[in-house]
Amino acid sequence: MRIVDRYILKSIVFTFLITIFVFCLLFILVDSASNLDEFIDRKASIEVIARYYLSYLPVIIVQTASIACLISCLLTFASLNTHNELIALRAGGMNFWKLARPALCFGLLISAATFYLNERYIPMAESLARQIKEENLSLDAEQSSSKAKIKNLSFYGLKNRLYFIDSFDPVTFDLEGVTIISFDNLQNIKEKVVALEGSWTGLAWKFKQVHITPYQQIEEGPTQVKVYEEKLMDIKETPKDFLRQRTNVRFMNLRQLREYIDRFSNSGAIRAVDSLKVDFFEKISFPLTPVILLLLGLPLVMATGNRKAQNFAALGIAIAIGFLYYVANAVGIALGKGGFLPPEVAANIAPFFFSLAAFYFIRTHF
């Protein structure tokens, strides 16, 4: 590695570590302040609180690593520009790619680390943190759940049943767009139930506009469909079971999520499966975020003319780029889960357009 590369990389790593530390500290301070009343009411010990935040620390690091990488690299190059070092390096014949090589290599390293942590540790860390909070820190796990309707709820239930629900209201316990697939011991489809609506009577589930399709052997296909205006269902799960048993894709790695999607791909619940596919492709594209942000941010900082305000300009550019990227990515994910975009497009629309913008700036400014 050249002396210049080591010099730039040393500054990037030092600033990155400080930025990550600040982000983690801010998260812990803000989160502990917002949950202080629950901690006091539950008489949570310092040990339990520390264990909760330590278990959640990998999640914080992964979520903030991209913007921390961007800030550290932009501040480093802003400092080079302030002291005329960047001008000297460019005068010595170094083009953009040679100047940006240490930053891009560091971004690739962060991307690889993010992918590795997401696959090996983040699902377990989020699950453990949630368990600690619900058992020791929350006043009521059910009350702490969101009051908003749960979209695209899917989970395995009792009696080897697979549930797909378009919408579940955790307050009124009303269901919309219910699909239930029952399997035999060999995982062959035994029965398929489709209902327009469902409600909890206090003792049982009552479905409306119900179509029940019993299946025989796979090669023989379904038998005659039974139609009911209203029907009390033989379902043992209560609304609380629905909330507890819902599958959270954040607790899955790529392999587990892929198997989960493959298992449900022939169920007929297209919206739920597409929503899971959006999550799958997002898990693939998310680790690329540090490199994409660097490709867009570095040429903007290098091209900034006012050297006296370089640090402020670098921070402003980093915040603006990070904010716009995450907003664009959230919009794409929402459009994908809403069925307006294919899952592959929804998860990659923000990385694609920001990459195009990055290469445009590099080509026009360098």
Q: What is the CATH number of domain 146-247?
A: 2.60.450
Specify whether the CB–CB gap between 291 and 359 falls below 8 A: no
Question: Is the predicted pLDDT of residue 172 greater than 80, yes or no?
Answer: yes
DSSP per-residue letters across 275-328:
HHHHHHHHHHHGGGHHHHHHHHHHHHHHT---GGGHHHHHHHHHHHHHHHHHHH
- Please write the tens of the pLDDT for every residue from 312-357: 777 788 889 989 999 999 999 999 988 889 999 999 999 999 999 9
Residue 291 scores a pLDDT above 70: yes
Tell me the longest C-alpha to C-alpha distance in the chain: 81
- The domain segmentation of the chain, as residue ranges, is 3-133+281-365, 146-247
For residue range 262-283, what is the model confidence (pLDDT) as tens digits? 766 665 567 777 888 999 999 9
Please give the pLDDT value at position 130. 79
pLDDT grade for 131, boundaries at 50, 70 and 90: confident
Q: Per DSSP, what are the bridge partners of residue 154?
A: 164
Tens digits of residue pLDDT in 49-69: 888 899 889 999 999 999 999
